[in-house]
């Protein structure tokens, strides 16, 4: 079993804020991918519901995710208040 920190995060934009949220998420993606502990960070917009998004993230270990959450650009993203809800599902890969 992997010691990586992996999650799927369901993100719902506030009504009418999807485009603004997409721009903010692109900035977050660009900065997060530079982090040495980030192995995967992809955000997808849902077909049929443009205000819903799914984030797939993998960090090399739990402390890498903690460091990511403490970064100024991550804190800025959350402070914008563009999301209605966030729901994280943490998981570990069973196959190699």
Of 23, 65, 26, nearest in space to 42 by CA: 26
Please compute, for residue 57, the number of CA atoms within 13 A of its CA located in the half-sphere on the CB side: 26
What's the gap between Cα 44 and its chain centre?
A: 10
β pairing state of 49-59 and 83-91: unpaired
Task: Give the Cα separation of 65 and 50 in Å (integer).
Answer: 27
Give the predicted TM-score (pTM) of the model: 0.90
Sequential pLDDT tens for the chain (96 residues): 558 999 999 999 999 999 999 999 999 999 999 999 999 999 999 999 999 999 999 999 999 999 999 999 999 999 999 999 999 999 888 776
């Amino acid at each position: 079993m992997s010691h990586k920190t992996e999650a799927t995060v369901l993100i719902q934009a506030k009504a009418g804020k999807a485009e603004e949220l997409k721009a903010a998420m692109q900035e977050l993606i660009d900065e997060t991918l530079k982090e040495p502990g980030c192995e995967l960070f992809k955000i997808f917009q849902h077909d049929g519901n443009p205000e819903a998004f799914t984030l797939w993230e993998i960090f090399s270990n739990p402390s890498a995710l903690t460091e990511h959450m403490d970064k100024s650009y991550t804190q800025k993203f959350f402070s914008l208040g563009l999301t209605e809800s966030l729901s994280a599902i943490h998981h570990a890969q069973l196959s190699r």
